[in-house]
Structure formats: C-alpha cells, structure tokens
C-alpha cells in the first residue's frame, strides 16, 4: 500500500510517499513559506533533491504542486494519483477525544477544529492539509495520527496541574504531551533491539532535537511526559525555555512591558540554547562556540544536559526503576558530547555509557557499557513511517469491516 504522509504546518507542507510493506520512502519533500512571495518547493530524496521557487498562495495550491511533482516530475515515483491508496495526516492536538489514530470523517474534522484552541497554529494548519487532500483526492481514505494520543494513558496524578480544578473543567487545562508518535515508535523499536516484549520493560524515551521531550513508559504504557498543555513545558530546547518558575512570566510582562503574545514569543522563540548562548539554537554552532572558549555557549550545553539528567532521575523514581534509556532526534542520535555529559556521574544509578560505542556512528544501536545495568540505546526516529503504518492498519481494518 502506498501511503501519502502529510505534515502541514502554518506555512509549510511536508510530505512523504511511503510504500508500507517495503518499508520504503518513494518520494518526499516540503513546500515552505506557503502564502508568501518567496515560497519554494523542495522535492526528491537525498542527492536527487531539487529546490524550485514556486508560487503557492495557500495549502491548497501547495498540495496541487506536490501531487503534480509526484506524477509529473522527471523521476516521478507514480504514474497517476490512483496509485496513492491512503493519506495519513499528522495532527498535533487530539485532546481527550483521541487516544489512537482514526479514520477521518466529518465528526473527526469537527473535533480537530474544536481542539484548535489548544494548538491554534498546528490544528488549523492540519485542517488546511486535510481540506486540500479532500479537494484533490476526494475518494482516498484519510487517517489522522495525533501527537498527543500516546499520552492519553497518563494517570490523572501525572496530567493534572495543581491549579484550581475549575480551570480543568472549564478549559480542559491539563498535560497532553507532544512528540507522541516519536516516543511510541522508539519504544517499540527499543523492545525489538533489546529482544524483549515491550510489556516487560521500563523505558525512558528521550526525543532530543530542536524540540525536546522525555517520557516514562512503564510496561508499554506512557505514564508521564515532559511536555504539557503545550510543547513549551519540560526540557530546555533549541529556542524554547521549557519549565521555568511561572512567576517569571508576570515579572517580565511588568518589567519589560511585554504583552502576552510578546512574552510567549520570548519563551518560544528566544530562549533555550539560543537565549543562553546568544549564538544559535543549533547545537552544532553552540558546540563550536563552546570549544572556542565561549562561556555562555558552554553554560547552554551544561544546562541542556542537566535538564535531561533531572528527568532521568524523576522518571526512575516514577517507575521505580528503568531497564533502558532510549535516545532519538538530531541531538540524541548525533551528539556524542551531549550524550557524554547527560550520562556523566550516573554510575550509582547503574547507568554507564561506553565511551567507544558512544563515538561510533550507525543506525539503531546500544551504547551502554557491558557492565551497565541500564541499557542506553539510540533509535533514529521515524514519525512518518509510524503515521504510514497506522494509516495502513486502519484503512485495511475498515476495508475488512466493509467487506463483512
């Protein structure tokens, strides 16, 4: 089955065409700056990628370009849109309605719209992607895969905030988490690498990229996660501050004369690695600066690793132990220095990094020392494949139901 995976952002449209049974990406690309004069379209895999300046007034126009490149480009992977069997959409916020991926119908669309209050930019963008697909491919089944659904298993003691209860009742303010598709994928793959059933394992999963989140997964069930009502909570990130004393918000608004949207901007776009180092949100640049003697860059490195370390401790306590710590995303997969700093000093907890294995490159691999009670594993994340797989399973099931 060929599944078109769509990840629509407020001004972007990312896509992959995946042949599920072959585990193969047969086309991919992204339309960026959708709706602005300098929009462009990147299409192609690795060295075959081409970048084309293109006019796209909205997501509908971007989708038309994407579909055209799938059937008409020089290396077109398919001859007609009939070769697309299903479409999987990444949706950021599924609220309390969705604890798993679902076939998209009018009711699902209505709920995604209703939930836009909790993720305004993301859910509205996803709806634009869904509507564009409905217009261009009206008869192809579509599935919604939610970033939050993996965390619907959290118990109330983990998802509630100690605020007046009425705000939960009135506004559904609670922890929803994010990056759930990534945490689900890497926990499932970790069980395969460890050659043990997921249901027998206590895992701490760490998605460390520009956005960062960690989860405690107890016997296959997510019991806690670091992102909250929004993806701003938890770990220090590329440009997001993560958890800070909430009293800092009114303090800054008062002393810097900031509006709510300006203070939001500070916490989402000007903080984290960028805010502390003053160099970049990109860890590679921060690393180069720190190695060149930039003290603020070194401080940013120290703070980032310390923030991961604290969640490791917290989640060991939450689960009463851990069998494996799983790392993924740009930093988790690639930055040996950050991994060294995260795991330094954790020997008393039975967590020992193997320095040599940590230096090696590769795909899915274990990097803990032979005498480490807790395994440390790297799993490159693959959210698109997970979305394609969910779509495949749900569409197959619905076809079987229809046949019955």
How are beta strands 50-53 and 40-43 bridged, if at all? Answer: antiparallel
Among the listed residues 94, 238, 272, 275, the single contact to ligand AMP using CB under 6 A: 238
Q: How far is the CB of 206 from ligand AMP (least distance, A)?
A: 12
Work out whether the CA dihedral 331, 389, 224, 160 comes out positive or negative. Answer: positive
**219 conformational bin, left if phi > 0, alpha if psi -120 to 50, beta if neither:** left
Please list every residue from 38 through 97 that binds ligand AMP, using CB under 6 A.
none
Site membership for ligand AMP, residue 12 (CB under 6 A): no
Q: Under a CB-based contact definition with an 8 Å cutoff, are residues 130 and 89 in contact? A: yes
Candidates 21-29, 243-251, 327-335, 395-403; binding stretch for ligand AMP (CB under 6 A): 327-335
Q: Output the known binding site for Mg(2+).
A: 7, 383
Q: How far is the CB of 373 from ligand AMP (least distance, A)?
A: 28
The two counts, helices (H) then strands (E), for the chain are 15, 14
CA distance 126 to 131: 9
Among the listed residues 125, 224, 330, 377, the single contact to ligand AMP using CB under 6 A: 330
What's the token pair of residue 201?
């394992």
Site membership for ligand AMP, residue 180 (CB under 6 A): no
Active-site option among 53, 58, 99, 147: 147
Site membership for ligand AMP, residue 210 (CB under 6 A): yes
Establish whether 302 is a catalytic residue.
Answer: no
Q: How far is the CB of 321 from ligand AMP (least distance, A)?
A: 28
Q: Output the known binding site.
A: 7, 14, 90, 207-211, 282-284, 330-334, 383
Element (H, E) at 27: strand 24-32
95/242 with CB nearer ligand AMP: 242
Site membership for ligand AMP, residue 186 (CB under 6 A): no
Q: How far is the CB of 277 from ligand AMP (least distance, A)?
A: 11
- Count CB-CB contacts under 10 A for residue 354: 17
Among the listed residues 18, 283, 312, 342, the single contact to ligand AMP using CB under 6 A: 283
Candidates 25-33, 38-46, 122-130, 330-338; binding stretch for ligand AMP (CB under 6 A): 330-338
Give backbone dihedrals phi and psi of 397, rounded to 5 degrees, phi first.
-60, -45
**46 conformational bin, left if phi > 0, alpha if psi -120 to 50, beta if neither:** left
CA distance 63 to 137: 10
Q: Under a CB-based contact definition with an 8 Å cutoff, are residues 254 and 221 in contact? A: no
Residues that bind ligand AMP (CB under 6 A): 209-210, 238, 282-284, 329-331, 334-335
As annotated, the active-site residues are 147
């Amino acid at each position: 089955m060929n599944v078109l995976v769509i990840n629509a952002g407020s001004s972007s449209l990312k896509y992959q065409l995946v042949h599920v049974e072959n585990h193969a990406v047969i086309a991919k690309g992204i339309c960026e700056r959708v709706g602005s004069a300098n929009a462009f379209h990147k299409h192609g895999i690795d060295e075959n990628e081409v970048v084309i300046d293109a006019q796209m007034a909205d997501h509908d126009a971007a989708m038309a370009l994407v579909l055209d490149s799938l059937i008409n480009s020089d290396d077109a992977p398919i001859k007609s849109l009939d070769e697309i069997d299903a479409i999987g959409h990444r949706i950021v916020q599924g609220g309390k309605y969705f604890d798993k991926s679902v076939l998209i119908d009018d009711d699902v669309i209505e709920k995604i719209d209703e939930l836009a209050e909790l993720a305004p930019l993301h859910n509205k963008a996803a709806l634009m992607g869904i509507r564009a697909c409905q217009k261009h491919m009206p008869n192809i089944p579509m599935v919604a895969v939610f970033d939050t659904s993996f965390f619907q298993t959290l118990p109330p003691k983990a998802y509630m905030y100690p605020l007046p209860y009425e705000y939960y009742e009135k506004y559904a303010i609670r922890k929803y988490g994010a990056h759930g598709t990534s945490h689900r994928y890497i926990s499932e793959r970790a069980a395969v690498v460890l050659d043990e059933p997921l249901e027998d394992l206590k895992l701490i999963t760490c998605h460390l990229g520009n956005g960062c989140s960690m989860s405690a997964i107890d016997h296959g069930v997510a019991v806690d996660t670091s992102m909250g009502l929004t993806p701003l909570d938890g770990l220090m990130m590329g440009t997001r501050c993560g958890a800070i004393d909430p009293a800092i918000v009114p303090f800054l608004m008062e002393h810097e004369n900031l509006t709510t949207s300006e203070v939001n901007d500070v916490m989402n776009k000007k903080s984290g690695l960028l805010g502390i180092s003053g160099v970049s949100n990109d860890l590679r640049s921060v690393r180069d600066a720190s190695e060149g003697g930039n003290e603020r860059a070194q401080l940013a490195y120290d703070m980032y690793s310390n923030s991961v370390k604290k969640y490791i401790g917290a989640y060991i306590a939450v689960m009463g132990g851990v069998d494996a710590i799983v790392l993924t995303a740009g930093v988790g997969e690639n930055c040996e220095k950050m991994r060294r700093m995260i795991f330094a000093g954790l020997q008393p907890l039975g967590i020992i990094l193997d320095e040599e294995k940590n230096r090696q490159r590769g795909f899915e691999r274990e990097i803990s020392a032979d005498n480490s009670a807790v395994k440390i594993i790297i799993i490159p994340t693959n959210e698109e494949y997970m979305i394609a797989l969910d779509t495949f399973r749900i569409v197959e099931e619905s076809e079987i139901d229809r046949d019955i």
